[in-house]
Amino acid sequence: MANMGKHKNNDEAIMDTCGNSRQTDLLIGVSDEEGVGAPSGSGVGPVPWAAVQGHVPKGYSLTAKGVFRERDEPEFISGPCWVSAMTRSHQSQEWGYVVHWIDQDGKERYAAFSGRKFHVTGSPLVGDLVSLGLKVVPGKERSLLQYLGSFVLPPTFRQRSVVQLGWQEGPEAWPLFVMPEQIVGEAGGERVVFQPEEYSPSVRGLHGNGSLVEWNHQVVGPCAGNPILVFSLSAGFAGPLLKPAGLDSGGFHFYGASSKGKTTALQVGASVWGSGADPAVSDASYISRWNTTGNALEAIAAAHNDILLPLDEMGTFGGRDFGKSVYDLFGGQGKSRLNKNSTLQAQRTWRVFGLSTGEISVRQKIEEEPGRKSKAGQLVRLADVPIAQGVITCLVPCEYIPAGRERLFLARAESGSKCTTQGLGEDIVR
């Protein structure tokens, strides 16, 4: 699974993530096909929007120089951009658009956007496109939205959208497992695209890097003889098995004094799915932190559906009633909420396998609030695992760690430079 891939054809149910766009919250693809972004008349090949050239909205023109409103004097709106497909869920809801654009480095990029974003005051969609390299003339934001929203494509230009990672329900006997960089399974011959919510906290850190050989040598090998590390590694593969096994969400909490290697254990488990970098030093880490509110934890859990949810530093939890948050986090269903029209919104649902760290136990955290008592249901959902002697109890033979560099594994894990895989989560799904 590469961090930057070629634009796939309609027969491949794959959507890549651009390795250099992880600072955003969108799922972005990059195409490096010959001729992308080439100036008009260069003879490099057909334009990348050739398939939809006949569907460019009336009153606009699309050239290698950009999008223009057709007037006596053509009015420049933006760099080249177009809609390549319409998206919708298997229930024909959550309609949206797959938008392509040529960034200012001449690269073709694409992302799936909810149709709702085309009707939000303030044009946040245009802001997203600008931050991802599309040249937009200030003051022409509304014109750009009207142009993109006016594309009318025939039924052959349809793709199946999903808004959540993990196992998907559908009319066919799928099964289908969605990850940001890859879709495992088939959806009745239709291409499937991941079209996340406004913010998807798992997209930044959930990506492949390096190779299986490197991961085995630099992460898996040094875990030998260290039960907590082996346990964390195994926990990384547990998320996709919950649904087939008919199990509810749950997790384990490593607790003990500082500098015992608890975060290192979390990094090892996180490396199965993405960047195992310490969240304290990398904003691209797959590991989240407890320093959030109970409501925000709901969104984090939903974004890690059917995969590992790693949460570091329980002591930083900023909400009230930690025991209730444990129930909510591993209960698998969000709160019922009303929208601005006082009608019920769709509830979030999820299944997660969690790993957590902290200096005190779950029981102690719950009971540190005056009048709170821990309950069996809370302690079963997030079970305590004491770390008394430290995570590293057995140094690995020199075939993994060169002489004189016994702490090489810890340095690698903590830096996140190699603590990442090339799609091991995909293998367990298959």
- Name the amino acid, one letter, at 61: S
Structure tokens at 342: 């006082």
Same domain, 238 and 358: yes
The reply to whether 350 falls in a domain is: yes
Taking CA 65 as the corner, what is the angle to CA 61 and CA 71, rounded to the nearest 5 degrees? 35
Helix axes 227-235, 262-270, angle to 10 degrees: 40
pLDDT tens string 194-213: 887 666 666 667 777 788 88
Residue 310 forms beta bridges with which residues?
A: 355
How high is the pLDDT of residue 395? 64
The pLDDT assigned to 408 comes to 40
Contacts of 330 (CB under 8 A, 6+ apart): 248, 249, 250, 251, 352, 354, 381, 382
Asked which of 163, 194, 225 is the last residue of a domain, the reply is: 194
- Given a contact cutoff of 8 angstroms between Cβ atoms, the answer to whether 225 and 396 are in contact is yes
What is the span of the domain harbouring residue 102?
19-194
pTM exceeding 0.85: no
Sequential pLDDT tens for the chain (430 residues):
333 333 333 333 223 322 233 333 455 566 544 333 333 334 446 899 999 999 999 999 999 999 999 999 999 999 999 999 999 988 888 899 999 999 999 999 998 999 988 998 888 899 999 999 999 999 999 999 999 999 999 999 999 888 888 998 766 555 788 887 788 876 667 888 888 766 666 666 777 778 888 888 888 888 888 999 999 999 999 999 999 999 999 999 999 998 888 999 999 999 999 888 888 888 778 898 998 877 788 888 888 999 999 999 999 997 788 999 999 999 888 776 655 555 556 677 899 999 999 999 999 999 998 889 999 999 999 999 999 888 887 765 544 444 333 344 444 444 343 344 434 555 556 5
- 281 and 396 in a single domain? The answer is yes
Last residue of a domain, one of 194, 222, 237: 194
Number of domains, the chain: 2
- Tens of pLDDT, residue by residue over 287-322, are 989 988 777 888 888 889 999 999 999 999 977 889
CA dihedral 375, 378, 382, 384 (to 10 degrees): -10
- Same structural domain, 111 and 238: no
Q: How many CB atoms lie within 10 A of CB 241?
A: 14
Q: What is the pLDDT of residue 270?
A: 93
268, 410 Cβ separation under 8 angstroms: no
Question: 403: domain CATH number?
Answer: 3.40.50
Q: How many residues does the chain have?
A: 430
What is the SS3 assignment for 285? coil
Nearest to 299 by CA among 350, 241, 248: 350
pLDDT of residue 425: 57
* Residue among 308, 196, 187 nearest 242 (CA): 308
Indicate if 241 and 183 belong to the same structural domain. Answer: no
- In this structure, the answer to whether residues 177 and 281 fall within a common structural domain is no
Would you say residue 207 lies in a domain?
A: no
Same domain, 160 and 291: no
Q: pLDDT value at position 146?
A: 96
pLDDT, one tens digit per residue, over 143-164 is 999 999 999 999 999 998 888 8
